[in-house]
Amino acid sequence: MSSLLPLAVLTDSGSPLEIALALVIGYLLGSIPFGLLLTRAAGLGDIRSIGSGNIGATNVLRTGNKGLAAATLLLDAAKGAVAVLIARHFLGETPAMLAGLGAFIGHIFPVWLGFKGGKGVATYLGVLIALAWQCAAVFAVLWLSVAALTRISSLAAIVATIAAPVAAWILGDSVLATVVTLMSLIVLIKHRANIERLIAGQEPSIGSKT
pLDDT at 2: 38
Q: What's the mean pLDDT in 90-95? A: 91
- Calpha distance 58→151 (Å, rounded): 12
Domain boundaries, the chain: 2-200
pLDDT at 16: 83
- Calpha distance 52→23 (Å, rounded): 28
The DSSP secondary-structure symbol of 115 reads T
Query: Is there a contact between 187 and 143 (Cβ–Cβ < 8 Å)?
Result: no
- Calpha distance 9→121 (Å, rounded): 24
pLDDT at 207: 65
87 has pLDDT over 90: yes
**Higher-scoring residue by pLDDT: 3, 19:** 19
pLDDT at 175: 87
Nearest Cα to Cα of residue 59 among 83, 77, 38, 80: 38
- pLDDT category at 182 given cuts 50, 70, 90 is very high
Q: What's the mean pLDDT in 85-106? A: 94
- Calpha distance 26→19 (Å, rounded): 11
Q: What's the mean pLDDT in 116-140? A: 95
Apex 195 CA angle, 189 and 199, nearest 5: 155
- Sign of the torsion angle spanned by Cα atoms 192, 82, 180, 18: negative
The DSSP secondary-structure symbol of 92 reads -
pLDDT at 13: 56
Instruction: Look over the chain and give the mean of its residue pLDDT values, rounded to a whole number.
Output: 89
- Calpha distance 17→24 (Å, rounded): 10
Q: State the pTM of this model.
A: 0.89
Q: What's the mean pLDDT in 179-201? A: 94
The CA radius of gyration of the chain, in Å to the nearest whole number, is 17
Name the percent of the chain lying above pLDDT 90.
72
Q: What region, left, alpha or beta, does residue 2 occupy, with left being phi > 0 and alpha being psi -120 to 50 degrees?
A: alpha
179-209 b/e with 16+ CB inside 10 Å = b?
A: bbbbbbebbbebbeebeeebeeeebbebeee
pLDDT at 132: 95
- Calpha distance 125→77 (Å, rounded): 6
pLDDT at 62: 86
